[in-house]
């Protein structure tokens, strides 16, 4: 069908009048692979695995391995009354093959480091499906002048659902439908697939009103929070549907500061307790919000993992961190069975060769379960980008493929020339691993600490008893890896820690049963084979290509 691509004098798209009986055929795609390799389109540091890229990357076989889908594409498909195909993680040839099916609209989602891939894909659309309208979206759409750099018809910034609905003639303000899908399709450690059902994905809203100057998300959505789901009751009903359909009991909450919406969260907790359906959550939250919400409430809510932005001890203090004793807060959280991922930023403007190590030591001393280290990278639309551009510090010589925060700075910093940023980053990851041991060891220890705390509560109500049992279940799952952790220990300290923790668990919960012992031996064998695979080949794991079809906003086939 013919889709108008004209623009108004103000540069806004003139939305076409479509025949509702013939909705457009739409292809939504992520960029092509391979990923995390040095080639004409990308870099080996830009791994398509969040944790192995920037959190547990120095931990070798002990690194936590996940593949996450391109979630935004599925939200779009769920909310469009059209024939939508999602092509996630294609090869270039697979993308070309799909184009030959003929689509009215091709939407390409990308991030800044994948600029060249998006540019190449747009050229391929013009070559193999010249009648298709090309739309660009994702955080890469924030690149200044991207519509002149990539041959496209429209660039979607911010609310993609509302824009796309308007574009195909639908109500942009209609309620948001939430897809039911896993948070990841691949979850492994030591080469061992993690047992049990993966966590479900929950996206209650987008954006953040904290306005941190380095954050793409807060700036991409105008330093504001836009809820998809406004009440705790609605959230609870959605979680129940997800569990009833796909058996999810744990949810990865993709929301920049989930606990900030306190009334919604407390209502969710009340609904769970009233119905005795006590879900578990992995959430993002700022330190001030965590303190305001309270550790006891976090336990009752069922938070098992908290991702908190510590950023830096020195230099300007972010409002979210004012007056916070992060070390005491993290210790308290872990003592209640809540694992903590703390993030820090290196090579900020105030850092020097003399003071940067102080921030690294501060982050390591927090003794969180996991630490993310990233180089300060002002991506387009952020305050950092604007500042560096105004100060003429932006490195126009650095291709976008290098704007991933794990090797080079994208701005000129007199204290950190050449390879210095990468050297500091690698040093930080390595020392953090050697001093605090593997993250999987720490997560096991956190579960033990939490179990001991909750077990000691006198007159615990039914909710706390369930949360205590859930911690015991987590210990039983993780303990099977302790012999593997010991055998693959980074140093004698971790080996001793693993052995001591195994003895402590035995004293708390008794020895492993026969099935656990068999699983533990199997884990050691698999881990040994995985280590050999890493040494001979590499530890790169490419995500599987996924083809998913929606019709009228409903999942049709995958």
Euclidean distance between CA atoms 41 and 467, whole angstroms: 47
Phi-psi bin for 196: left (phi > 0), alpha (psi -120 to 50), beta? left
Euclidean distance between CA atoms 457 and 453, whole angstroms: 7
What's phi and psi for 36, nearest 5 deg? Answer: 65, 35
Q: CA-CA distances (angstroms) from residue 391 to 348, 384, 412, 414? A: 15, 10, 10, 14
Residues 338-374 as b/e (b if ≥16 CB within 10 A, e otherwise) read bbbbbbbbbbbeebeeeebeebbebbbebbbbbbbbb
Q: CA-CA distances (angstroms) from residue 468 to 124, 180, 183, 453, 455? A: 55, 28, 25, 9, 7
Residue 372: its H or E element: strand 370-375
Report the candidate in 153, 195, 131 with the shortest Cα–Cα distance to residue 13. Answer: 153
Q: What torsion do the CA atoms of 148, 149, 150, 151 make, to the nearest 10 degrees?
A: 40
Report the candidate in 212, 184, 169 with the shortest Cα–Cα distance to residue 312. Answer: 212
Q: What torsion do the CA atoms of 342, 348, 350, 351 make, to the nearest 10 degrees?
A: 80
Give the strand pairing for 192-193 and 225-227. unpaired
pLDDT for position 196: 74
Structure tokens at 446: 């956190």
pLDDT for position 186: 86
- The domain locations on the chain are 25-177+543-557, 186-436, 445-536
Euclidean distance between CA atoms 366 and 128, whole angstroms: 53
Euclidean distance between CA atoms 250 and 477, whole angstroms: 15
Q: Is 394 helix (H, G, I), strand (E, B) or coil?
A: strand
pLDDT for position 317: 87
Measured in whole angstroms, how far is the alpha carbon of residue 300 from the centre of its chain? 24
Residues 315/287, Cβ–Cβ less than 8 Å: no
What's phi and psi for 367, nearest 5 deg? Answer: 55, 45
Site of tokens 């041991």? 437
Residue 137: its H or E element: strand 133-137
Identical fold between 25-177+543-557 and 186-436: no
Euclidean distance between CA atoms 305 and 287, whole angstroms: 14
Structure tokens at 76: 């779009």
Euclidean distance between the first and the last CA atom of the chain, given in angstroms as a whole number = 25
Cross-sheet strand order for the sheet of 370-375: 200-202, 250-253, 280-284, 303-311, 339-346, 370-375
Measured in whole angstroms, how far is the alpha carbon of residue 445 from the centre of its chain? 23
- What string of DSSP letters covers 172-194? TTSPPPPP--BS-SEEEETTEEP
Q: Which CATH superfamily is domain 186-436 in?
A: tm_1862 like domain (3.80.30.20)
Partner residues linked to 201 by β-bridges: 252
CATH T-level assignment (fold) for domain 25-177+543-557:
Rossmann fold (3.40.50)
**Spans of the chain below 50 pLDDT:** 1-17
Measured in whole angstroms, how far is the alpha carbon of residue 316 from the centre of its chain? 26
Euclidean distance between CA atoms 113 and 95, whole angstroms: 19
What's phi and psi for 182, nearest 5 deg? Answer: -75, 155
Q: Is 89 helix (H, G, I), strand (E, B) or coil?
A: coil
Euclidean distance between CA atoms 503 and 448, whole angstroms: 12
Angle between helices 115-128 and 92-99 (to 10 degrees): 30
Angle between helices 356-365 and 420-436 (to 10 degrees): 30
Peptide bond into 34 cis (omega under 30): yes
pLDDT for position 20: 58
Euclidean distance between CA atoms 32 and 545, whole angstroms: 9
Residues 104/25, Cβ–Cβ less than 8 Å: yes
pLDDT for position 10: 35
């Amino acid at each position: 069908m013919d889709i108008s691509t004209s623009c108004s004098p103000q540069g806004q798209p003139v939305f076409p009048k479509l025949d509702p009986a013939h909705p457009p055929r739409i292809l939504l795609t992520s960029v092509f692979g391979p990923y995390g390799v040095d080639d004409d389109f990308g870099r080996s540091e830009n791994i398509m695995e969040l944790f192995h890229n920037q959190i547990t990357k120095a931990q070798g076989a002990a690194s936590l391995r996940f593949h996450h889908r391109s979630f935004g594409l599925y939200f779009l498909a769920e909310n469009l009354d059209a024939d939508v195909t999602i092509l996630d993680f294609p090869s270039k040839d697979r993308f070309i093959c799909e184009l030959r099916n003929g689509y009215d609209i091709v939407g390409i989602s990308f991030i800044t480091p994948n600029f060249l891939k998006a540019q190449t894909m747009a050229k391929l659309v013009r070559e193999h499906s010249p009648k298709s309208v090309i739309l660009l979206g994702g955080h890469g759409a924030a690149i200044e002048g991207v519509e002149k750099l990539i041959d496209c018809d429209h660039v979607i910034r911010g609310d993609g659902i509302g824009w796309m609905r308007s574009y195909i003639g639908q109500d942009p303000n209609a309620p948001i439908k939430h897809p039911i899908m896993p948070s990841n399709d691949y979850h492994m450690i030591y080469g061992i697939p993690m047992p049990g059902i993966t966590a479900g994905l929950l996206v209650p809203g987008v954006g953040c009103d904290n306005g941190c100057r380095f954050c793409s998300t807060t700036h991409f959505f105008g330093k504001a929070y836009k809820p998809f789901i406004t009440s705790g009751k609605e959230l609870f009903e959605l979680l129940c549907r997800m569990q009833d359909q796909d058996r999810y009991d744990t949810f990865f909450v993709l929301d920049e500061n989930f606990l900030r919406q306190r009334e919604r969260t407390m209502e969710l907790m009340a609904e769970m307790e009233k119905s005795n359906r006590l879900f578990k959550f992995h959430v993002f939250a700022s330190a001030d919000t965590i303190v305001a919400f309270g550790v006891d409430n976090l336990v009752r809510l069922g938070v098992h993992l908290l991702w908190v932005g510590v950023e830096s001890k020195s230099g300007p203090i972010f409002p979210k961190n004012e007056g916070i004793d992060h070390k005491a807060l993290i210790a308290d959280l872990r003592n209640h069975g809540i694992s903590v991922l703390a993030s820090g930023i290196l090579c900020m403007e105030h850092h020097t060769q003399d003071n940067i190590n102080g921030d690294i030591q501060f982050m390591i001393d927090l003794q969180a379960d996991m630490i993310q280290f990233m180089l300060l990278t002002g991506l387009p639309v952020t305050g950092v980008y604007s500042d560096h551009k105004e100060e003429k510090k932006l490195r126009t010589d650095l291709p976008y493929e290098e704007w991933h925060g794990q090797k080079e700075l994208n701005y000129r910093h007199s204290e950190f020339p050449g390879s210095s940023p990468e050297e500091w980053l690698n040093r930080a990851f390595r020392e953090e691993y050697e001093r605090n041991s593997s993250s999987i060891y720490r997560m096991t220890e956190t579960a033990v600490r939490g179990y001991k705390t909750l077990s000691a509560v006198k007159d615990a109500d039914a909710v706390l008893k369930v949360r205590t049992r859930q911690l015991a279940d987590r210990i039983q799952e993780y303990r099977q890896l302790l012999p593997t952790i010991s055998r693959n220990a980074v140093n004698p300290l971790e080996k001793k820690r693993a052995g001591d923790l195994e003895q402590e668990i035995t004293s708390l919960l008794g020895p492993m049963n026969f099935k656990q012992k068999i699983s533990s031996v199997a884990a050691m064998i698999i881990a040994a084979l995985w280590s050999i695979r890493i040494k001979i080949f590499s530890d790169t794991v490419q995500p599987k290509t996924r083809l998913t079809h929606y019709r009228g906003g409903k999942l049709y086939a995958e």
